[in-house]
Amino acid sequence: MVNDRGTIKWTSIMMPEHIEMLQKMWKEQDHEKMPILDEQQKEEINNKLLMAVANDLTVELKYFDNHDFYKVKGKITSINKQNKYISIAGQHLLFENIIDVWID
């Protein structure tokens, strides 16, 4: 059986620009896509955020940014409804990027 390593075997004779383009292409193939939330999920997230702010509770947020998923945990310091962002643990997250909320 032949051990085919694809384009990896050719990288030693490629120009640095070509290697960089291949690495960028491989990275883009791993990009995640933003899930689409329905109205019920958005309402549930909104209710949890409001409850956490009203009762000064610690929350863990899962959010989408730069083609990947991230989590942040902490207390919500402010909610800006006008600009549609939330401040937590020194970060400003857009409402539309929040995927899920867990209350501790």
The answer to the question of residue 64 being in a domain is yes
The answer to the question of residue 85 being in a domain is yes
Output the domain CATH number for residue 67: 2.30.30.100
DSSP conformation class of 35: P
| Mean local confidence (pLDDT), 14-38 | 84
pLDDT at 72 over 70: yes
pTM for this prediction: 0.70
Domain count, the chain: 1
The answer to the question of residue 9 being in a domain is no
pLDDT at 7 over 90: no
The answer to the question of residue 99 being in a domain is yes
The answer to the question of residue 44 being in a domain is yes
* Neighbour-count burial for 44-61, b at 16+ CB within 10 Å, e otherwise: ebeebbeebbeeeeebeb
The answer to the question of residue 74 being in a domain is yes
The residue segments making up the domain with residue 41 are 37-103
| Mean local confidence (pLDDT), 68-80 | 91
SS3 content of the chain, % helix, strand, coil (to 5): 40, 35, 25
The confidence score (pLDDT) of residue 2 equals: 57
Spell out the SS3 assignment of the chain: CCCCCHHHHHHHHCCHHHHHHHHHHHHHHCCCCCCCCCHHHHHHHHHHHHHHHHCCCEEEEEEEECCEEEEEEEEEEEEECCCCEEEECCEEEEHHHEEEEEEC
pLDDT digits (tens, 9 = 90+) for 27-70: 778 778 888 999 999 999 999 999 999 999 999 999 999 888 99
